[in-house]
Structure 1
Amino acid sequence: MPNSDYELLIFDWDGTLVDSIDRIVAAIRHAAAGCDLPRLDEVPIKGIIGLAIQEAIVTLYPQLTGTQTLTEFQRLYADHYLSLEATPSLAYPGVAKTLQTLHQQGYRMAVATGKTRRGLDRVAACHGWSALFETTRCADETASKPHPRMLLEILEQCQVAPERAIMIGDSAFDLQMAHNAGMGAVAVSYGAQPVQVLQQYPHCLMIDRFEHLLPWLNHRP
C-alpha cells in the first residue's frame, strides 16, 4: 500500500500530463477565423482550457450562445485539433516515468478531463497509458468543471472517500472542482494558467515539475 494519506490520484489531462496548450490555442483561433470572429490573445484562451468545449467557446464568444455558429465553431475546432494531434502532444518531462512509478507503488489512478471521450481514449492509447487508470471521466459524459460531478462519480465508482483522494491539475477549474467535491488538490505551475491565478484557489501543494509529486506523497505522515 502507498505510504500516503491518499489512495486515489485523479489527474487532469491537457496542461497537466501532456503539453497540448499551444495546439488548443491554435485550434480555437482556426475555428474563430472560420466563423469570422475576432482573433483573441492567448491569455483568455488559456483561461478556458479545462472546460467542456461548448462552455469554453461561449465563455470566449458569448454571442454564439444558442446559435448554429456555435456548432460550426465546435466542428472546426475539433477537426483542426485532430489534425494537429496526428502526432500526439508530448508528455511533460517526468510524467511517463512518474505515472509508472505511482502505479507500481500501488496508487489507484484516474482522469477527470475537459476532453471528449473519443479524444481521451485515442490519446491515452497513443501514450500507452490506458491501463494505468482505473477509471476516467470526460466533459461530454458528465458536468463540466468546476462542477464536482465528475469527481463524485469517480469516487463512487472507486468506493473511495473524498479525504482519501486528491486532484492534480493546472487550472482554477481543477482546484475549485476538487474543493466543491470535498477533496484536496495539487496545482501544477507549468500548465495553462499562471501561478498568480492558481494561488487564489484552494490547494495543498504547488509543484513546478510533475515528478515532485512523488516525494510529497510518499513522505506524508
Structure 2
Amino acid sequence: MTRTNLVVLDMAGTTVADGGLVEQAFAAAAERLGEAPEAMIGHVRATMGESKISVFRHLFGSEERAQQANRAFEEAYGELVGAGRIAPVPGAAEAVEKLRSQGRTVVLTTGFARTTQDAILAALGWQDLVELTLCPADAGGRGRPYPDMVFAAFLRTGAVDGVRDIAVAGDTSYDMLSAVRSGAGVVAGVLTGAHDRTQLLDHGATHVLASVAELPDLLAGVDDR
C-alpha cells in the first residue's frame, strides 16, 4: 500500500492569507520604477504562483530592469509584512501539525525570494513549523510552473520512495502545473487564494478543497484506499 508521506504546501494564498498583498507589492514596485501598474495587473493575476523574477522578465524583457523590479517588489512586500499585514489561513498551522502527527513530512514552498520567505515565517512565528522551506533559488532558480521545488523537496527529505507518494497543495494554476509535472499522486487545489475551482481543475487538480485545513482528512482517506 502506498502512503503519501511527503506534503509540499504553497505559502501565499494556501497557508498564508496575504489579503491581496502580492498585487499591492507589484503595484508599488511598478510605481517605484515609473511604470503604470494597471498595464501589468492582468498578467500578474494570471501568473500567480510563478516565481516573481520570471513574471518581471516577461513584463520588462530586460534582465536588468527585471532585477530592479524584483528588488522593488521584495522591498514593498517586506514592508507590508513588517507592518503586520499578513496572517495564517485559518486552520493552516493546525493542519500542518496534524499532517506531521500522521507521520508525514511537510515542506513549505514559495515563489518569493528567500529573504521575503524568511520574513513571512518570522512574522507568523513559523520558523520551526515544518522540516524544510524552499524558494526558487533553493531549486535551481526556475520556480513554478516548473516542478523543481517539488523535486527538491523529494530529494532533500528522502521521505518517500517515489513521486507518486507526494501530495502538493496550492491555490494557483501554476501550483497545479508544477505538481502535475512532478508526477505527484495528489494535486490539491485550495479555494483560499488566487484561482477558482475551474482554473484549478483545468490545470490538473485531482482534488479541490475549501482550504488547506481539509488536507489531513483527505490524505487519511487516500491512504486508506
TM (normalized to structure 1)? Answer: 0.88
Q: How does 1:158-169 map to 2 (within 5 A)?
A: 158-159=157-158, 160=160, 161-169=162-170
Match of 1:111 in 2: 108
Match of 2:97 in 1: 100
Q: How does 1:111-190 map to 2 (within 5 A)?
A: 111-141=108-138, 142=140, 143-159=142-158, 160=160, 161-184=162-185, 185-190=187-192
The answer to whether the 8 A contact 2:114-2:137 is kept is yes
Give the % identical residues: 21
Quick check: 1:45 aligned with 2:31? no
Quick check: 1:70 aligned with 2:66? yes
SS in 2 for 1:199: helix
Question: Which stretches in structure 1 are left out of the alignment for 5+ residues?
Answer: none
Runs of 4+ in 1 over 4 A off after TM superposition: none
Match of 2:208 in 1: 206
Following TM superposition, by how much is the alpha carbon of 1:43 offset from its aligned partner in structure 2, in angstroms?
4.6
Matched residues, number: 216
The answer to whether the 8 A contact 2:78-2:119 is kept is no
Following TM superposition, by how much is the alpha carbon of 1:126 offset from its aligned partner in structure 2, in angstroms?
3.0
Match of 2:81 in 1: 85
Pick closer, same or farther for the CA change 1:43–1:167 going to 2, 3 Å.
same
Structure 2 letter corresponding to 1:177: S
Q: 1:5 & 1:204 partners in 2: Cα distance?
A: 16
Following TM superposition, by how much is the alpha carbon of 1:176 offset from its aligned partner in structure 2, in angstroms?
0.9
The answer to whether the 8 A contact 1:14-1:21 is kept is no
Pick closer, same or farther for the CA change 1:151–1:210 going to 2, 3 Å.
closer
Pick closer, same or farther for the CA change 1:67–1:147 going to 2, 3 Å.
closer
Q: 1:170 & 1:90 partners in 2: Cα distance?
A: 16
Following TM superposition, by how much is the alpha carbon of 1:112 offset from its aligned partner in structure 2, in angstroms?
2.3
SS in 1 for 2:134: strand
TM (normalized to structure 2)? Answer: 0.87
Q: 2:204 & 2:68 partners in 1: Cα distance?
A: 36
SS in 1 for 2:71: helix
Match of 1:191 in 2: 193
Q: 1:27 & 1:126 partners in 2: Cα distance?
A: 17
Q: 1:116 & 1:219 partners in 2: Cα distance?
A: 35
Match of 1:15 in 2: 13
RMSD: 2.1
Structure 1 letter corresponding to 2:44: I
